[in-house]
Amino acid sequence: MAATTKKQKNPANGSMDIKVYDVDGQLLRVGVKHGSPEHPPLMMFNGIGANLELAEPFMAELNDTGGIIFDVPGVGGSPAPAFPYRPSTLARLAKRLAEMLGHDRIDVSGVSWGGGLAQQFAYQYPGFCRKLVLAATAPGITMVPGAPNVLAKMASPRRYTDPGYMRSIAAEIYGGEFRKDPTLINRHAAAMKGATQVGYMLQLFAMTGWTSLPWLWLLRQPTLIMAGTDDPLVPVINARLLNKMIPNSRLELIDDGHMFLVTKPKLCAEMIEGFLREGE
């Protein structure tokens, strides 16, 4: 049941409807970008601490593909849960949300932290997830990590609560175009709504000890793996590992950093939408 409604104009393509849904007792703030009913919608799982508005430029560039994205509990406009959760818990909530929105099959994408959740969803609900898109992500605790000084800056939600701090570290932690264009950092910082300390810690805890490596070979969904060649957080070797382990997958390298979906939304939307349309 939708509790509140807000329609937010999407600058490039129609609008994104933002509502709060009660999903099995957990309130989720959800953004829906409407697309053609002929195609399954693309449900997107965001990075750690990221509110749904940060994905809006990418969603706006999708042509006829609908999009679904929600703030993880404790982030953005979704209140913190009563208890800690695991990826399997969020995967169940995401499936229930999709069903509430009238879908019996969806495509799934995940960015960075959300890429782990996307892998879990595809494994947990193989009949519900048609295709899988993994961007700037890894197989969990078994990943090849980035530089320690970069990872240390990711341990705190300060970059989401302090725009000035974000501007000072964005080039170092995200790489790619953020190293070259300060205006990208300003736009990104302006779109941040902030994660609570509790919400951020819950996201870190959720992935503690989690890995997809033992069952990646069981995934049968056609999978597009995308990685930036200058990613300080998730080195490209992780994408190569995913590509090797997931049977029906292919790897696309992008000349950018960790945030290529933000810095190159049109290119990424065209690449992903082309992949989703294959075989139709």
Phi first, then psi: what are they for 16, rounded to 5°? Answer: -110, 125
Residue 163: is its pLDDT beyond 80?
A: no
Residue-level pLDDT at 262: 92
**CATH at 252:** 3.40.50.1820
Pair 170, 178: CB distance under 8 Å: yes
Q: What total number of domains does the chain contain? A: 1
Residue 3, amino acid: A
* Cα distance between residue 69 and residue 46, in whole Å: 8
DSSP string over 162-177:
-HHHHHHHHHHHH-GG
Residue-level pLDDT at 13: 45
pLDDT in tens, 249-276: 999 999 999 999 999 999 999 999 999 9
pLDDT in tens, 212-263: 999 999 999 999 999 999 999 999 999 999 999 999 999 999 999 999 999 9
pLDDT confidence tier of residue 6, bands split at 50, 70 and 90: very low
pLDDT confidence tier of residue 159, bands split at 50, 70 and 90: confident
* Cα distance between residue 228 and residue 280, in whole Å: 28
Q: List residues with catalytic annotation.
A: 112
Instruction: Please give the C-alpha separations between residue 64 and each of 13, 143, 277, in angstroms, as whole numbers.
Output: 10, 34, 10
Q: How much of the chain exceeds pLDDT 90, in percent? A: 71
Integer-rounded Cα Rg, in Å, for the chain is 17
Q: Give strand pairing partners of 42.
A: 67, 107
C-alpha dihedral, 227 to 232 to 236 to 238, nearest 10° = -100
What is the extent of the structural domain holding 98? 2-277
> Across the chain, what does the average pLDDT equal?
90
